[in-house]
Amino acid sequence: MSLNKAKVVVIGGGTGLSVLLRGLKTFPVDISAIVTVADDGGSSGRLREELNIPPPGDIRNVLVALSEVEPLFEDLFQHRFDQGAGLSGHSLGNLLIAGMSSVMGDFSRGVQEISRVLNVKGTVIPVSNQHLTLHARFRDGSTCAGESKIPLIGKPIERVYLEPANPIPSSEAIQALEEANLIILGPGSLYTSIIPNLMVPGIREGLMESKAPKVYICNVMTQPGETDGYTVGDHIQAIDDHLQAKVIDSVIMNTQTIPFSYRERYMGEGAEPVAIDQARLDEWKIRTIDDELLSFENELLRHNAIKLSQRLLSLM
């Protein structure tokens, strides 16, 4: 298929999704990013409680990643106030999204209008227009409410779920899945960025019914409080368990050696490289794409966005 006609849907949230999108937007494909709206921390959490709107933080990061504006305007959109009684801690971009949502009378329409202002390449779609709360049930039977609080508990997660349990999905998200030529999950926080999208009614069905290849991009490192000790197969198993179905066709994994200085730094935070359990993936008949996919930026491990995008688009 010609890339010029390809419709690529990416599902997730947080930093990992934004890194990927910066690479994908350099290719001539039609991008739809379906983004979680369960964040409850920081500026996003405050706006969600005070204005009763979906949290704008993950949406903001995706908008900036897909934008084609001057770097100074991008910096302005990401600017966070560090003083002021009501402004301290708020991101200007979050406030602009909240303001446009108020002007338009609808959060999704507000995001669409901000997309035009930022000259966004693609479509940014909140998975739902509703105010959602993420809950986790841990393996010891205890529970926790709040996306930002879940990783802090430090217990193995059995399942996450949303309140309300059956939120109304974005019609744009459903349509994007119906028309997709490639569906990508991740990279990003498994239980707090990726799976919450899959818990919205209609998204699960859209994934199962789509004939498009479905690829999961596994994180390079485990995440403390979410995926401690997880292998690649454990990540996929968690997705299968929440969907109650197997939908992943392919998985992309990093095989590049991580320098000791980076490993040491991440280990100090409780993270370790995600182990590849190849025999398990082979048993599931999941296509594995392994490559040296790392980028080293500001002492952080990231996926190389261009190389990752090239491998993804080769699956169509």
Which residue in 301, 27, 9, 18 sits closest to 181, CA to CA? 9
- pTM score: 0.95
Average pLDDT estimate for 271-282: 97
Average pLDDT, the chain: 94
In a domain, 166, yes or no: no
Please give the tally of structural domains in the chain.
2
> Looking at residue 55, what is its pLDDT?
94
Residues 179 and 72 in one domain: no
Residues 188 and 316 in one domain: yes
Please report which confidence band the pLDDT of residue 299 belongs to, taking 50, 70 and 90 as the band edges. confident
Which residue range is the domain that position 20 belongs to?
A: 1-36+171-316
- 109, pLDDT greater than 80: yes
Of 95, 110, 126, which residue sits at a domain end? 126
> Looking at residue 1, what is its pLDDT?
61
> Looking at residue 73, what is its pLDDT?
86
Among 72-76, 154-158, 243-247, 310-314, the minimum mean pLDDT is found in: 72-76
In a domain, 146, yes or no: no
CA 197/CA 13 separation, integer angstroms: 9
CA 94/CA 57 separation, integer angstroms: 6
Average pLDDT estimate for 163-181: 97
The amino acid that residue 233 corresponds to is G
| Percent residues over pLDDT 70 in the chain | 99
Of 93, 126, 159, which residue sits at a domain end? 126
Residues 46 and 82 in one domain: yes
CATH code for the domain of 20: 3.40.50.10680
> Looking at residue 85, what is its pLDDT?
81
> Looking at residue 2, what is its pLDDT?
65
Residues 7 and 106 in one domain: no
For the record, the structure tokens of 185 come out as 């999950």
> Looking at residue 14, what is its pLDDT?
83
Please report which confidence band the pLDDT of residue 151 belongs to, taking 50, 70 and 90 as the band edges. very high
In a domain, 163, yes or no: no
In a domain, 154, yes or no: no
Residues 106 and 251 in one domain: no
Of 105, 126, 147, which residue sits at a domain end? 126
Burial 229-242 (b: 16+ CB within 10 A, else e): ebbbbbbbebbeeb
Residues 176 and 309 in one domain: yes
Residues 177 and 313 in one domain: yes
Residues 53 and 185 in one domain: no
- 3, pLDDT greater than 80: no
> Looking at residue 53, what is its pLDDT?
93
In a domain, 149, yes or no: no
> Looking at residue 41, what is its pLDDT?
86
- 74, pLDDT greater than 90: no
> Looking at residue 99, what is its pLDDT?
95
CA 212/CA 167 separation, integer angstroms: 25
Average pLDDT estimate for 277-292: 96
Residues 21 and 59 in one domain: no
Residues 22 and 51 in one domain: no
In a domain, 132, yes or no: no
> Looking at residue 5, what is its pLDDT?
79
CA 237/CA 226 separation, integer angstroms: 14
CA 286/CA 156 separation, integer angstroms: 25
CA 1/CA 77 separation, integer angstroms: 36
Most confident of 66-70, 79-83, 119-123: 119-123
Query: Could you tell me how far CA 181 lies from the centroid of its own chain?
Result: 19
Please report which confidence band the pLDDT of residue 15 belongs to, taking 50, 70 and 90 as the band edges. confident
Residues 49 and 32 in one domain: no
Which residue in 44, 42, 33, 53 sits closest to 129, CA to CA? 53
Average pLDDT estimate for 284-308: 92
Residues 194 and 295 in one domain: yes
C-alpha distances in Å from residue 310, one per residue of 13, 28, 245, 269: 21, 12, 28, 31
- 4, pLDDT greater than 80: no
Please report which confidence band the pLDDT of residue 131 belongs to, taking 50, 70 and 90 as the band edges. confident
In a domain, 148, yes or no: no
E-assigned strand segments in 153-273: 157-163, 182-185, 214-217, 250-254
- 240, pLDDT greater than 70: yes
In a domain, 51, yes or no: yes
